[in-house]
Amino acid sequence: MSTEAGIDVQRQLESLVQDFRTSDPPMPVIVLHAEDSADDDRVTELVDELGEGQQRHGTRLAVAPTGPQPGDADPTARAARLLVDLGDSRKWGDRSAAYRPYSFPRLNLVRALQEATDDPEMREHWPTAPGGTPDGNAQRERAQTQLLRILARQRWRPRRPARRPRQVLLNDVQQFLPMGVLGAFTALLTRPEWYIAALAGIGLMILLAGLNHVPGRAPLFLWLRRESRWFLTTTFLQSAARRQSTSVRLLRPVRSWQAIAARAYDVAEAMREGGPFPLQLYVLALFEDLRDNHRRASWDLRGFKRTRPPVLFLRRAGRENGGIELIRAVSDVRSRRSELDPLLIVAGVAAGDAALLDRGADADTPAVRPLSPSRPSPLPQRLRHWYDEWAGNLRADQSPSRTNALPWVLRIPLPHDELVPLRQTDRRCVRARHRPPLARVVWSAHSLLLVLALAVTAGVVHARELHRTYCSAGLLTADRDTERRPAPGGGTECVGIATGDVRFGAQLSGGTTGEGERLRELESLVRAENAKVLRDHPDAYVTVVYAGPLSSSSVDPSLVKGAEELTGVYLAQRVVNENYTVKLRVLLANGGADMGHQRVTADAIAGYADRDPTVVGVVGFGRDLQSSPDVTRRLHAVGLPVVSGTNSATYLPKEFSNWFSLAAPDEHQAEALGLVARQLRARDSAPHALVLARDTKESQDRYTSEQALYGGEMLKREGFRMLPAQRYRVANGKPELRLHAESICRGEDVPSVIYFAGRVEDIGPLMTQLGTEPGCADRRISILTGDDLSKARFSGTGGRDGVAPRITLYHAALAELREAASRTAFYEDATHYLPWLEDGKATYDAADFASGQTALSHDATRALYWAASLGDVPQSRAATWVNLRSVKLDGMATGTIDFTRTPLYDERHGHSIVLKQVRRTAGGVSKATVLCSRTAGGTEPLSVRECSIE
């Protein structure tokens, strides 16, 4: 600097720069003027030197053109012209200054609106009729349409100067990059190769960029741009608005466009009227852009990288070039707004015009700030004192009672002796301490942006895959013990073992009544009991896994089996934990609707058992499916025994030593039904019989195939003339039986006995078809079927299932409850521990217990627990497997559970079994009658005499 004043002012500027690095100090408008008008030129030279010094120091700076302006003599209009070109980033230095060029979207939007307002084509379209009248409203709509047309033609951007193609490209990339990323993620939903998703994102960006530059239309997503959001939401423009909506939403483009269009026209009308409004709007837009360019809480941390405030230099501010009006507007806008902006303004003013900045009313009556004739302190101290005094009085100077004050102006009078040029050797320049900001080193656009993009992409893809695959997942982790699998009829279901926060009942769709509500209640009860066991007895418990159908599907929404079996398991848990030293913990595993995903569940149980040595066995897997051998083999590999209550597969105990079942095998059921078939055979000299079975080619069901096999062999042994077996399909959960009924009833030989190898949900349609089909409706037909019909609730007991008038149904059931009821505490315990039961509601023929599934799962759980707690000591998994062959429990819900005579790789005897007859009564209801039965533990075979059908 060539003068002492320049050195001192430069030092003060660098002091503000140093404060700016660590905080947001208020930036004044520093007005430099000489005490003597003869030194005005030296002040101008000083301002030039300050600008050159700041530029060498890396400051973003702009120099407003303060030369004489031809044309309009309005000082306000001349002040606005000083800001017009500041929306060009090239006016603020080159890229070497700091970080990357500034952007001024708000200032350019205001400038574009000003140019559209002043366009010659708009002159004849401005409304002339009074507002609120029909003519006035129509003219206003036409004027608004024309204004939008002009803005669209210039693409809502200033016409001059033209922006560089590179800058246009970068702006488009910034605007459409999120859409490209969204397009790539959308492509990933179809799980293609990675390069296909990348091409989809890039292609979407190119398409949007092309559509964005269609001539004569507004840019894409205009209402989502930051300048548009500011344009609609700033309170500065509320006075120009006409109570229009300011809503800007991504999913409401029409309403958002209408809002910005209405606001643009309202502001254009206000700008057309002139006055201080256009100038102040320019100033406000400049401030908002600069605040945004130095925002620390931004994705690129640009506020941390730009450590020097921007500086605007006014070489010679006066009335004739609009400089004085610009300084006044800056002070007015800053006083009106509450946000601090980073712009530092340095202006040189002639000594005769300096007083205009103390009071803005009139140049003829200035109020000159009194200066002390003596200067007891040097200029650097006075500069610091003036700045501190200015900053301290800033709040008071903005008070409404001081409307003529310019509180944001810091006047610095420069004495003559401080403006004397120094010798070359005495000239010096002060610079604030400088070091590269950490953000520039760590958060660079070339390295971390790529890393962030890759990390976010990988994280989102991984999280999406986790949420798609597992029932409980976070951003990077998931509970892998449960998985989402396709459900019959569409959708997904949660299968596996619930070890974390997964609740199978919470995954159910539909209402909260019926079996779904019961399942949710049972889950809560089981988990509460488990928590009590872990809290009070952490070293004296064993864990049993119940695996059953704990979800439903749109094809078969029933949860009866899972809810009833889980009721028995929970009841056994409560009885055990209330009466035994070794406590029982129960984990729930869902095999899906109809156990369709039981192989996945078995893998989850085996995986969890490897981590938890307290798991001693599994209860459940009550459906015989094609995957049942694989499931049993998988559990066998980890040493887990399986005790099933309702799986009647004949082959499983013959192939696997870890399989124990309380259900009478299919072969035993067929032999017992043979006693009924023998009596039916005696009624007719040449009876015909038929096996009608579900078609299992497209399903996993193995139970019906086993039933059909053993039922057909039984009918042949009993001497029936066998008609060709028929298989019916199931489509959308409904059996297709009409053609089969016609074939059976209209054939040459109508069977008197039909062995139905199907499911309980198919019996109703079959009865309807046979009861109305000529050839069967007037004949007595007997239908034999297996234990799945024990789940039916016939109309005689308040259910909806029934039989046709001349058809008699004979079916097997797995649990003899009536004879065992007097010798068990099962129903008393149920009343005590099941909260939804009242005294007297728990009986063997009550709706909740009649099917026997609750009793069987209870007995299976009690048997497995007995083996796992032999001697009142928690047993290992292997010991539990061995101990199961010594289990003999009396007083169970189905009788005596006896595994002591269970041979290896062979079937055992002593299962509970019941044969029931269902007929239509004279009252039109279907009533079930027990023909004969054996409680569990009984090994004496049934006889024809016991099972008489007469």
How confident is the model over 716-727, as pLDDT tens digits? 999 899 999 999
- Listed residue (110, 108, 163, 99) closest to 294, CA to CA: 99
Token pair, residue 927, equals 């009533």
Q: In whole angstroms, how far apart are CA 719 and each of 8, 678, 682, 716?
A: 123, 8, 10, 5
Residues of the chain above pLDDT 70, percent: 85
Determine contact, residues 44/348, Cβ cutoff 8 Å. yes
Q: Can you give the pLDDT at residue 370?
A: 40
How far is 177 from 205, CA to CA, in rounded Å? 7
pLDDT at 211 (0 to 100): 62
**Helix (H), strand (E) at residue 913:** strand 913-920
Which residues, 6 or more positions from 642, have their beta carbon under 8 angstroms from its beta carbon?
617, 618, 619, 620, 621, 632, 635, 658, 659, 660
Q: In the predicted model, is pLDDT for residue 170 greater than 60?
A: no
Strand 688-694 relative to strand 721-722: parallel, antiparallel, unpaired?
Answer: parallel
Q: Which residues contact 465 (CB under 8 A, 6 or more apart)?
A: none
**Closest residue by Cα to residue 325 from 299, 301, 356, 303:** 356
Question: Concatenated DSSP letters for 467-510?
Answer: HHHBSSB-SS-B-TTEEEEEPTTSSEEEEEE--SS--TGGG--S
For 190-213, what is the mean pLDDT?
66
Token pair belonging to 68? 């004489």
Greater pLDDT, 227 or 601: 601
Closest CA to 894 of 936, 846, 833, 854: 936
**Structure tokens given for 367:** 């109020």
Question: Over 80: is that where the pLDDT of 526 sits?
Answer: yes
**Pairwise pLDDT comparison (648 vs 431), residue with the higher score:** 648
The whole-angstrom separation of Cα 840 and Cα 844 is 11
In the block, residue with structure tokens 């040029």: 421
pLDDT of residue 360: 37
Pairing mode, if any, of strands 895-898 and 888-892?
antiparallel
pLDDT digits over 656-708, tens only?
999 999 999 999 999 999 999 999 988 877 789 999 999 888 788 898 899 99
Higher pLDDT, 392 or 236: 236
Query: Whole-structure pTM over 0.95, yes or no?
Result: no
Residue type, 59: T
Least confident among 221-230, 433-442, 557-566:
433-442
Look-up of token digits 């669209």: 152
761 pLDDT band, cuts 50/70/90, is confident
pLDDT tens per residue across span 259-283: 888 888 888 988 888 888 899 999 9
Residues 6+ apart with CB under 8 A from 596: 488, 625, 700
Average pLDDT, the chain: 83
The pLDDT value given to residue 547 = 93
For Cα atoms 282, 284, 290, give the angle at the middle one, nearest 5 degrees.
105
Rounded Cα distance between 540 and 583, Å, is 6
Q: Are 722 and 715 in contact (CB under 8 A)?
A: yes
- pLDDT, residue 386, reads 77
What pLDDT band is residue 838 in, cutting at 50, 70 and 90? confident
Q: Give the C-alpha separation, 916 to 932, whole Å.
A: 7
Give pLDDT, residue 747. Answer: 81
Query: What's the pLDDT tens digit per position in 38-52?
Result: 889 999 999 999 999
Those residues whose C-beta lies under 8 Å from the C-beta of residue 476, and which sit 6 or more positions away, are 459, 462, 463, 466
Which tens digits make up the pLDDT trace of 64-73?
988 776 666 6
Q: Summarize pLDDT for 765-811 with one digit per residue, the tens.
A: 888 888 888 888 888 899 999 988 888 888 767 667 788 888 999 99
pLDDT of residue 165: 47
**When comparing pLDDT for 368 and 750, which is higher?**
750
3-class SS of residue 260: helix
Tell which residue, 658, 653, 591, has the closest CA to residue 621: 591
Tokens 């604030």 label which residue? Answer: 432
Burial code of 896-905, b = ≥16 C-beta within 10 A, e = fewer?
A: bbbbeebeee
* pLDDT given for residue 363 in this prediction: 39
Q: What is the pLDDT of residue 17?
A: 87
Question: How far are the Cα atoms of 266, 704, 715 from residue 708, in angstroms, in the given order?
Answer: 83, 6, 10
How many residues are present in the chain?
950
pLDDT tens-digit readout, 874-903: 999 999 999 999 999 999 999 999 999 888
pLDDT at 369: 43
Tens-digit pLDDT profile for residues 648-669: 999 999 999 999 999 999 999 9
Percent of the chain with pLDDT over 90: 33
